[in-house]
């Protein structure tokens, strides 16, 4: 069995509109310790991440403490929305979840995001077969992966998790065959 722990990044600084370089807030830097604590006894073999700073920084504390290098996998990056900042993200997001082929001029469709992330996941499953892996991820990218395996995970489910940062989803695979999905809200009591 291969266990994959996707970690949606901690709280980012939304004042920074550069998607790739958006850093964590002070709260995000503190909350990433919840990730380290959650993963400490999981016997993790490898740590991967989207190339985006907020995702790398969310898993880096764990990686540093447990002697792992963070391997960057470009395929796990977040959806490109457009070349400009979108003020009404809710309306845009709803439209994308209703139409997986909708995108703005310079953006990606959810189908494109899903295909890219699933290709990266399949590569990971082959390279790290029968290992335990952590992957630094994003809300939309991770939601499209869940949707790939469980189509009932749509806009309402995405909307329910959009404020949960960090958030962990564990996928268990036998080869490339999904066995289970478990979701962990690190703030739930």
Site of tokens 């993200």? 89
Computed over every residue of the chain, the mean pLDDT equals 95
Cβ–Cβ contacts within 10 Å for residue 189, how many? Answer: 3
| Residues in contact with 18: Cβ distance below 8 Å, sequence separation at least 6, in sequence order | none
Query: Between the CA of residue 7 and those of 21, 64, 93, 98, 104, what are the distances in Å?
Result: 18, 16, 21, 25, 27
How much is the average pLDDT of 96-123? 96
pLDDT (tens digit, 9 = 90+) per residue, 11-22?
Answer: 999 999 888 999
Q: pLDDT at position 68, please?
A: 98
Residues 6 or more apart from 92 whose CB is under 8 A from it? 81, 86, 104
Quick check: 105 pLDDT over 90? no
Query: What is this structure's pTM?
Result: 0.95
Model confidence at 40, in pLDDT bands (50, 70, 90)? very high
- Predicted confidence at residue 87, as pLDDT, reads 80
- Domains along the chain with CATH numbers: 2-184 (3.40.50.1240)
Instruction: Give me the count of residues in the chain.
Output: 189
- Cα 47 to Cα 49: distance, rounded to the nearest angstrom: 7
Band (189; pLDDT cuts 50, 70, 90): low
Task: Please compute the mean of the pLDDT values over residues 126-134 and round it to a whole number.
Answer: 98
């Amino acid at each position: 069995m291969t266990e994959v722990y996707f970690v949606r990044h901690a709280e980012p600084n939304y004042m920074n509109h550069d998607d790739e370089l958006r850093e964590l807030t002070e709260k995000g830097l503190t909350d990433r310790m919840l990730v380290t604590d959650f993963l400490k006894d999981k016997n993790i073999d490898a740590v991967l991440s989207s190339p985006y700073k907020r995702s790398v920084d969310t898993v880096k504390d764990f990686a540093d403490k447990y002697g792992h290098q963070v391997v960057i996998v470009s395929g796990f990056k977040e959806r490109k929305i457009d070349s400009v900042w979108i003020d009404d993200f809710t309306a845009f997001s709803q439209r994308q979840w209703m139409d997986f082929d909708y995108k703005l001029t310079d953006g990606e469709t959810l189908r494109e995001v899903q295909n890219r992330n699933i290709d990266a996941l399949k590569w990971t499953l082959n390279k790290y077969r029968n290992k335990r892996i952590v992957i630094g991820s994003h809300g939309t990218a991770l939601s499209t992966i869940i949707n790939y395996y469980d189509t009932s995970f749509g806009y309402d489910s995405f909307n329910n998790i959009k404020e949960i940062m960090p958030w962990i989803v564990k996928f268990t695979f036998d080869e490339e065959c999904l066995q289970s999905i478990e979701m962990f809200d690190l703030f739930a009591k």
